[in-house]
Chain A
Amino acid sequence: MKPTPTEPRSQPGAPWLLLAATLALATCSYLLLNTGPPSPPGPTARPSSPDTPQARQPAGPAASTRTPHTDTSSPPPSPSTAAMLPPRGEGRAADQQIQRLLEEAWPADLPPAQEQQLRRDGAALLRADATGIGRDHFPTVFGNQPDTAVAPAFSRLRIQAAIAREDTRPGRAVVHLVWAGADRGGTYTDNRITDLYFRRTKGDGPWTPLPRP
């Protein structure tokens, strides 16, 4: 029978190919299994309070200059030793990975129960702002607005990932949310990023959301 183009055919040297593939895979596996979690970001990596000018500035040696490689004669670089992170438009399939990225990049610093509560409150606060649903649960944020009708600004809202961390200011916390939603015109966008801030006046008191600037 004539083999189809995709069928393997016996060739001299085929065992060497298989051996090479096996060795390469074994090497990759070793590298992968020995890749530790990412280094925690430095102090500047933590988003600070909203009224801090540096709040949105990236971490890292902002003023440092690193000499680039100029040798392009060697084989093209392979993405083998680094992750390919999900781009936009990946839908729910990327949410778990994004959640893991947030947790690894910004190590937990709140008691787990507090973080869970803040995540829930942050998600509910975002939903209240974006859709109008549940605003009565946050009188400190929405209570002072005139009793006007609320036309939902977003629909199909989905929280893709969320973490809660201590803010740089004592007694405050920030909930960092990655979310998706469709605006009133139907344009759907994922990987939207929102930081919401909470504070408490007593050490073990409840967290209260801060009005958004």
Chain B
Amino acid sequence: MRTPRPRPRRRRAKWGCLLLVLATAASCAAPFSGMLSAGAQLAHQQQEQGEGGGIELGGSAADIPPVMLAAYKKAARLIGGQVPKCRGMSWPILAGIAKVESNHAAGRSIARSGDIRPRIMGVLLNGSGQGGNTTVFPDTDGGKWDGTAAGERAVGPFQFLPSTWDTAGRDANGDRERDPHNAFDAALGAAVYLCGKGRDLRKRPQLEAAIFQYNHSREYVNNVSNWIRQYRTAATGPGKGTDLGGVSGRAKKVLEVALSQRGVPYSWGGGNTQGPSRGVCCSPSGKSGAGITGFDCSGLTTYAYAKAGIRLPRTAAAQAARGQRITSKGALKPGDLVFYGYVPGADSTIYHVGIYVGGGQMINAARPGTKVRLDPVDAMSGFAGGARVL
């Protein structure tokens, strides 16, 4: 779409309507069968709002409460004194566990001492099915940590069972008490538990075995591992990913343009070679870009590359047909396009594109409700390769 030029007000509405009609007819080509009535859209939105609370953002140290981050870092320093043979323990590993277990004690008050209030308690593991629990855990602590002698609950930001805490728990804040509801104690206890008798967590199989020990689920391991990768990306240094010192030529131009758009809102169908623009109605769930001046994912890449003199097709799937394909994340270079698909081997299912910035990060317009931002490349499932167009 072309950005409408200023026109007399009387004509603007008509041209706007015409453009909107054309854009709607064109952009909603595929989702015709997914279009819903306004009432159905509202119902779905309400349903998904209830279902989708807490949709994730990309992992970064900035998303972690300072005391929690301090606890993870302190535990990584202290683990050598607890499990001397352990290798490779680092704060991103503990952050990955705590992210998945309690979202870093989200919604709680965290004192400088590390005490977390109100305490974080899991569901009573009595096999009732509540919260998905199907196994009976007999009480082991008389309710000291989990508040009940009727059974067991997982407790604290790392969700220790009291029986596990009894052996893995440590005091890390110097108050001579091992408290799973204290961030520092819990983080060191988790480090001890993950290290076992002396794992080398630099080795992927041993790290995965440690995570699997925490919860016997492969999807749990995948989920935690993904967060660890994201936090490791964040740990490479402050400002990493926006330092274009080693980038030159058209790649630098593309990235400068894209990074300058940080904070611009996502708009479904929005953005073109001229910059941000009003989008169209509507995404499958009824999110309209018609009233938002901004970018969708491929609108942002279209604009950034146009500023460097390169014209891209308008959709993410079509952009994947340009340039040289990059098949691994490790081969990505700043300025490359990065793709995500529902079937990673089939380009026709590519639904998202970003621009690789470096340091494991990309600049992208992620989805409705967000703004143009940096995200770890690992923030999304379905990596479908990259493309070097420059």
Give the interface of A toward B (CB within 8 A).
Answer: 5-6, 8-9, 11, 14, 17, 20-21, 24-25, 28-29, 32, 35, 38-39, 41, 44-47, 56-66, 68-72, 74-94, 96-98, 100-102, 104-106, 126, 129-133, 145, 148-156, 158, 161, 176, 178, 182-194, 212
Contact with A along B306-343 (1 / 0, CB 8 A): 10011111111110111111011000000000010111
Given the complex, which residues of B lie within 8 Å of A100, measured CB to CB?
Answer: 33
Tell me the smallest distance from the CB of B129 to a CB of chain A, in Å. 9
Contact among B31, B54, B285, B325 for A187, CB-based, below 8 A: B54
Cα-based distance from A24 to B23 in the complex (angstroms): 10
Check B302 for interface membership: any CB of A closer than 8 A: yes
Given the complex, which residues of A lie within 8 Å of B125, measured CB to CB?
Answer: 149, 151
Contact among A58, A76, A161, A188 for B342, CB-based, below 8 A: A161
Cα-based distance from A191 to B53 in the complex (angstroms): 15
Check B6 for interface membership: any CB of A closer than 8 A: no
Decide: B27 and A129 in contact? CB cutoff 8 A. no
Decide: A93 and B325 in contact? CB cutoff 8 A. no
Cα-based distance from A139 to B22 in the complex (angstroms): 56
Decide: A68 and B13 in contact? CB cutoff 8 A. no
Decide: B99 and A185 in contact? CB cutoff 8 A. yes
Tell me the smallest distance from the CB of B214 to a CB of chain A, in Å. 9
Decide: B285 and A93 in contact? CB cutoff 8 A. yes
Query: Could you say which of B141-149, B257-265, B362-370 contacts chain A?
Result: B362-370
With known contacts A84-B269, A91-B51, A24–B314 Cβ distance under 8 A: no
Given the complex, which residues of A lie within 8 Å of B328, measured CB to CB?
Answer: 57
Known: A93-B285, A184-B101. 5 other contacts (CB 8 A): A6-B13, A17-B18, A132-B132, A132-B134, A192-B381
Decide: B216 and A150 in contact? CB cutoff 8 A. yes
Cα-based distance from A48 to B55 in the complex (angstroms): 31
Contact among A5, A97, A156 for B30, CB-based, below 8 A: A97
Decide: B346 and A91 in contact? CB cutoff 8 A. no
Cα-based distance from A124 to B75 in the complex (angstroms): 38
Check B203 for interface membership: any CB of A closer than 8 A: no
With known contacts A94-B285, A178-B342, A185–B311 Cβ distance under 8 A: no
Contact with A along B43-61 (1 / 0, CB 8 A): 0110110011111100000
Decide: A58 and B99 in contact? CB cutoff 8 A. no
Check B28 for interface membership: any CB of A closer than 8 A: yes
| Most chain A CB atoms below 10 A, which of B285, B309, B316 | B285
Contact with A along B368-387 (1 / 0, CB 8 A): 11000000000011111100
Contact among A58, A94, A102 for B284, CB-based, below 8 A: A94
With known contacts A87-B352, A187-B55, A79–B315 Cβ distance under 8 A: yes
Check B106 for interface membership: any CB of A closer than 8 A: yes
Decide: B13 and A8 in contact? CB cutoff 8 A. yes
Decide: B216 and A88 in contact? CB cutoff 8 A. no
Cα-based distance from A130 to B138 in the complex (angstroms): 23
Decide: A68 and B322 in contact? CB cutoff 8 A. yes
Tell me the smallest distance from the CB of A158 to a CB of chain B, in Å. 8
8 A Cβ contacts from B209-225 to A:
215-220, 222-223
Check B389 for interface membership: any CB of A closer than 8 A: yes
| Most chain A CB atoms below 10 A, which of B3, B216, B310 | B216
Q: 22 A-B contacts, Cβ less than 8 Å apart?
A: A8-B14, A17-B18, A63-B325, A66-B321, A68-B312, A71-B311, A78-B23, A83-B317, A89-B285, A91-B285, A92-B44, A92-B47, A93-B41, A105-B343, A129-B217, A131-B132, A185-B102, A186-B54, A187-B99, A188-B55, A191-B342, A194-B219
Check B26 for interface membership: any CB of A closer than 8 A: yes
Contact among B26, B47, B98, B298 for A80, CB-based, below 8 A: B26
Decide: A66 and B323 in contact? CB cutoff 8 A. yes
Decide: B342 and A45 in contact? CB cutoff 8 A. no
| Most chain B CB atoms below 10 A, which of A84, A102, A186, A193 | A84
Check B167 for interface membership: any CB of A closer than 8 A: no
Decide: B100 and A187 in contact? CB cutoff 8 A. yes
Decide: A9 and B103 in contact? CB cutoff 8 A. no
With known contacts A76-B272, A76-B273, A86–B22 Cβ distance under 8 A: no
Cα-based distance from A190 to B54 in the complex (angstroms): 12
Given the complex, which residues of A lie within 8 Å of B101, measured CB to CB?
Answer: 184-185
Check B86 for interface membership: any CB of A closer than 8 A: no
Check B197 for interface membership: any CB of A closer than 8 A: no
Cα-based distance from A80 to B110 in the complex (angstroms): 52
Tell me the smallest distance from the CB of A185 to a CB of chain B, in Å. 3
Contact among B13, B33, B106, B273 for A96, CB-based, below 8 A: B33
Q: Which residue of A lies closest to B273 (CB)?
A: A76
Cα-based distance from A92 to B322 in the complex (angstroms): 32
Given the complex, which residues of B lie within 8 Å of A156, measured CB to CB?
Answer: 51
